[in-house]
Amino acid sequence: MPPTVPALTIGAHEIWPPVVLAPMSGVTNRTMRALYKPFGFGLTVTEFVSSNALKYGSKRTMEMIDQHGIESPVSTQLWGDDPATMAAAARVVRECGADIVDINFGCPAPKVVKTNGGSACLRDVQRCEEIMRAVVDAVDCPVTMKMRLGWTESDLVYIDVAKRAQAVGVQAVTLHARTARQFYRGEANWDHIARLKDALDIPVIGNGDLDDARVAVDRMRATGVDAIMLGRATLGNPWLVSQIRDLLEGREMQATPTPADRLRFCMVHYRTMVDELGEARAVPQMRKHVALYLKGIPGAAVLRERIMRTPTADESLALIQGCIDRLESDASLAA
């Protein structure tokens, strides 16, 4: 079937499907990106990285921008408030293989905004412009930017900042349709995303509250955005992305997998994390992922609690396998 919308074009990159994995701290490492990309992400983004940390060559930070290669193209997202430091960081991540450099004007986390990074930059639109110009001038790859509507409801600066982005050479803008002060409360207002699309000539990527495939595609078509970005809704549910891809490619969307099949993929995710990170790091990181794969499964609360206290990968995997066995036994009895 022919695609129902065009591919997303950013510089020399033609991205299909026009579905982007959002940068999420402590989540979108190279393992997760490689596991989730085949479900239908055309573009994946690294965890957001501190430009100051890159300046000092932090080992942990260098791991955050590492790639497998199989998840290409990859965008590396940077945050900070100093144009020169952001430019230097952009050169580093480009040398380390970033296909696209993304600027973070969207993160509302206290640890980021207390240093005037992320969405706090929106309090000074001139500083935003200086950062974007410095990064564009520093690298030979496309530069994009992600932002929120503004710092508060009374100071919505997104169109101003986006027009400045376009003027200095930024090649695509993502808008999360909440203010920084909203954090993740309330509903994302997609009317603002439609207004931004009307105001710009460069691609616009819409983000916020895309937890249903049909709703996501309907919002994409209604606003005319060039792509959508998904984050928290895909955690434990990468099949949402496959359903969106099906609809964008003109097919009936596939059914949501059974709880047992979801947990089988959870075990693949768990084992891959252990293989790549080692058990000591993988076990605590996988606790949050397992909790999300368990969402909506009968008896999940008890199992989540046990997983949170389980110190080894083998014990955790045995608990998950036990849940799969129980689910399949119950299904067999019901049939």
Structure confidence by residue, pLDDT tens digits, 122-169: 999 999 999 999 999 999 999 999 999 999 999 999 999 999 999 999
Number of H helices, E strands in the chain: 14, 11
pLDDT (0 to 100) of residue 59: 74
Given the structure tokens 């791991």, which residue do they identify? Answer: 63
Mean pLDDT of the 16-22 span: 97
Which residue intervals of 294-312 are DSSP H helices? 300-309
Residue 298: pLDDT band (50, 70, 90) is: confident
Mean pLDDT of the 288-303 span: 92
Highest mean pLDDT among 70-84, 153-167, 296-310: 153-167
pLDDT cut 70: percent of the chain above it: 98
Residue 1: pLDDT band (50, 70, 90) is: low
How many degrees, rounded to 5, is the angle at CA 19 between CA 113 and CA 64? 45
Q: Which of 1-10, 42-51, 289-298 has the lowest mean pLDDT?
A: 1-10
Instruction: Give yes or no on whether 8-248 and 259-334 have one common fold.
Output: no
pLDDT (0 to 100) of residue 2: 67
pLDDT (0 to 100) of residue 150: 97
pLDDT at 66 over 90: no
Element (H, E) at 191: helix 190-199
- Please state the pTM of the whole predicted model: 0.94
Residue 65: pLDDT band (50, 70, 90) is: confident
pLDDT (0 to 100) of residue 332: 72
241 within 8 A of 33, measured Cβ to Cβ: no
Would you kindly state where each structural domain of the chain is located, as residue ranges?
8-248, 259-334
Candidate CATH numbers 3.40.50.720, 2.60.120.10, 1.10.1200.80, 3.90.110.10; the one for domain 259-334? 1.10.1200.80
pLDDT at 270 over 80: yes
Higher pLDDT, 179 or 335: 179
Mean pLDDT of the 221-241 span: 96
Element (H, E) at 292: helix 279-293
Burial of 276 (0-12, 13-18, 19+ CB in 10 A): middle
Distance CA(119)–CA(303), nearest Å, equals 37
Residue 335: pLDDT band (50, 70, 90) is: low
Distance CA(23)–CA(229), nearest Å, equals 9
Question: Which CA distances in Å does 160 have to 129, 164, 265?
Answer: 10, 6, 43
pLDDT at 324 over 80: yes
Higher pLDDT, 184 or 66: 184
Residue 334: pLDDT band (50, 70, 90) is: low
Sign for the CA dihedral angle at 211, 216, 219, 223 comes to positive
Catalytic residues, by residue number, are 107
CATH number of the structural domain 8-248: 3.20.20.70
